[in-house]
Amino acid sequence: MGLITPPNPETMPELNVIDGIRARAKETPEKEAIVCGDIRQSWAEFDQRSNRCANALIELGIDKGDRVAILSPNSAPYAEIFIGTLKAGACIVPLSTMASSEALEKMVVDSGSKVLFLADHYRDLVAPFLENLNARLVALDFDAAGFTGYEDLLARQPETDPVIAVDWDDPFNIIYSSGTTGTPKGILHSNWMRAVQMERAEPSGYCDNARTLLSTPLYSNTTIVSFLPTLFGGSTVHLMGKFDARRYLEIAEEEQITHTMLVPVQYKRIMDIPEFDDFDLTSMRVKFSTSAPLRADVKADVLARFPGKLIEYYGLTEGGGVTILVADETPDKLHTVGAPGPGTEIKLIDVDGNEVPKGQVGEICGRSPAMMAGYFGRDDLTNDYIWHDGDGRLFFRTGDMGHFDEDGFLILSDRKKDMIISGGLNIYANDLELILLRDPTVIDAAVIGVPSEQWGETPLGLVVRKPGSDKTVEDILTDANALLGKSHRLSGIELRDTLPRSSIGKILKRELRTPYWQ
């Protein structure tokens, strides 16, 4: 596995993901596998179409281990291509629809993808660099010179599975960690890592006729960690092409959804729908949350009004340490992101790489059987991400800061890179944001460090007021600073109509900071 050899789980995987999905298709051919809009595919149909896709890729010259890229909204063809690529023994490279044209070119070139599947909606993004690509181009929903039509390609393929065997070390997917700014890093997951993650399928109920509603994009690991276990468990995936809070609730009611994975901003938008309590959501068994911390007040609201269990995961796309908060079972821990999951070990370190005493804040480092194989083609970056404890065991550095409470539950402080150092003191932006969000007139908030001649940098609050509120920035600032220690007070407040977020709801702090530091 290259630089990284993860520890073995208590129970070793017996099946890789794609073999598990193959088996499910044979067991329940009439059950629904994929639902997206008006398309409803049985397991038999999904199996046949993903087989055709695998054979099409082989016809296009794809060999075992080759990379296949896709840029598209969520759709039934997206699911077919994802699984078809794996059936061909290849590595899927789902591209971020939030990325710039320049970043997308870097991703396709860096991955060495030999085929690019493209949806019409994103043709303008790839137009500037198409001529530079050494890849076969497949159009999902349009006709254009230089492209092969997806349906035409599938129509001439056999429905039989090519049955390409894969090894544990073989690449499964590459997920790029950035696409809005900076140089993207390709996070390489092996077939081993994804197989280890399938241990969660049965305990989470994915094997028990689950109907999983996914509204985050399939290029995100947030989505993939529910998409794959649902299919591995022989259940049904419902895909939304684009998230809309009201439509989400309508689908959940109409389709008797049992499982869902949402990010915090989606939970907030769903719970804020005025008619939320009118929807029948009693079929919901488990709701998952990940990608960013879910605020304690939102968790409490979800527990009070949204049926089913609420489970929050904290972890990285790279893998390593994972904490789990079963919110309905620990309502006194809603301010935390839970305790280390099965097989996970987490340590906190200081700037010199030494473990910090219990109760103190440190950088979170994690170790588990589910760890990435490394950044694709970048051993130098992979090495920067690794920390070894006193026994020489390998951990992943998260770049997040936090501390454990007396019961072993992890409380996040901030991203290390978002920490504000003012007058030599560490200020965690998240702490200040939570204070701002106590104000009933504030519906969204971010705190960033801005230049200060006196202190080096100082915290600035950027807030979105509730519609119709006329509370002044001076009053918001005064109320917030009254709750903060003298050394942590905000230097100012600025009003914003919205805060920039990624497609999975993370506030883009770098984008907010840039104008102040240029």
Q: Residue 61 above 90 pLDDT?
A: yes
Sort residue 455 into left (φ over 0), alpha (ψ -120 to 50) or beta. alpha
Spatial contact of 75 and 36, defined as CB atoms under 8 Å apart: yes
Last residue of a domain, which of 378, 413, 448?
A: 413
pLDDT in the model for residue 304: 97
Q: Residue 426 above 70 pLDDT?
A: yes
Max mean pLDDT range (247-251, 356-360, 456-460): 247-251
pLDDT in the model for residue 178: 57
User: Which CATH number does the domain housing residue 77 bear?
Assistant: 3.40.50.12780
pLDDT in the model for residue 265: 86
Helices 473-481 and 429-436, axial angle in degrees (round to 10): 120
- Are residues 208 and 285 part of one domain? yes
Q: How confident is the model at residue 488 (pLDDT cuts 50, 70, 90)?
A: confident
- Are residues 136 and 21 part of one domain? yes
pLDDT in the model for residue 1: 44
- Are residues 433 and 407 part of one domain? no
Mean residue pLDDT of the chain comes to 93
User: Which CATH number does the domain housing residue 349 bear?
Assistant: 2.30.38.10
In a domain, 4, yes or no: no
Mean pLDDT of 498-511: 87
Last residue of a domain, which of 268, 291, 314?
A: 314
Q: Residue 194 above 50 pLDDT?
A: yes
User: Which CATH number does the domain housing residue 273 bear?
Assistant: 3.40.50.980
Structure tokens at 159: 């429905």
**Residue 299, domain extent:** 201-314
Helices 221-232 and 76-87, axial angle in degrees (round to 10): 70
In a domain, 208, yes or no: yes
With tokens 């794996």, the residue in question is 86
- Name the DSSP class of 74: S
- Are residues 109 and 222 part of one domain? no
Q: What is the pLDDT of residues 234-260, one digit of tens each?
A: 999 999 999 999 999 999 999 999 999
Last residue of a domain, which of 314, 348, 382?
A: 314
Q: Residue 58 above 70 pLDDT?
A: yes
In a domain, 7, yes or no: no
pLDDT in the model for residue 413: 85
Q: What is the pLDDT of residues 252-308, one digit of tens each?
A: 999 999 999 999 889 999 999 999 999 999 999 999 999 888 989 999 999 999 999
pLDDT in the model for residue 179: 46
- Are residues 163 and 285 part of one domain? no
Spatial contact of 50 and 84, defined as CB atoms under 8 Å apart: yes
- Are residues 447 and 378 part of one domain? no
Three-state SS at 433: helix
pLDDT: which is higher, 183 or 38:
38
Q: What is the pLDDT of residues 383-417, one digit of tens each?
A: 989 999 999 999 999 989 999 999 999 999 877 77
Structure tokens at 482: 């009254």
In a domain, 91, yes or no: yes
- Are residues 188 and 47 part of one domain? yes
Spatial contact of 143 and 133, defined as CB atoms under 8 Å apart: no
Reference 320, options 218, 233, 399; nearest CA is 399
pLDDT in the model for residue 181: 45
- Are residues 383 and 307 part of one domain? no
In a domain, 58, yes or no: yes
In a domain, 8, yes or no: no
pLDDT in the model for residue 182: 54
- Are residues 167 and 21 part of one domain? yes
- Are residues 131 and 46 part of one domain? yes
In a domain, 509, yes or no: yes
Q: Residue 180 above 50 pLDDT?
A: no
In a domain, 5, yes or no: no
- Are residues 51 and 183 part of one domain? yes
Sort residue 69 into left (φ over 0), alpha (ψ -120 to 50) or beta. beta
Q: How confident is the model at residue 2 (pLDDT cuts 50, 70, 90)?
A: low
User: Which CATH number does the domain housing residue 469 bear?
Assistant: 3.30.300.30
CA distance 302 to 328: 10
Q: What is the pLDDT of residues 213-240, one digit of tens each?
A: 999 999 999 999 999 999 999 999 999 9
Instruction: Choose the weakest-confidence range: 9-13, 26-30, 149-153, 391-395.
Output: 9-13
Q: What is the pLDDT of residues 104-155, one digit of tens each?
A: 999 999 999 999 999 999 999 999 999 989 999 999 999 999 999 999 999 9
| Total tally of structural domains belonging to the chain | 4
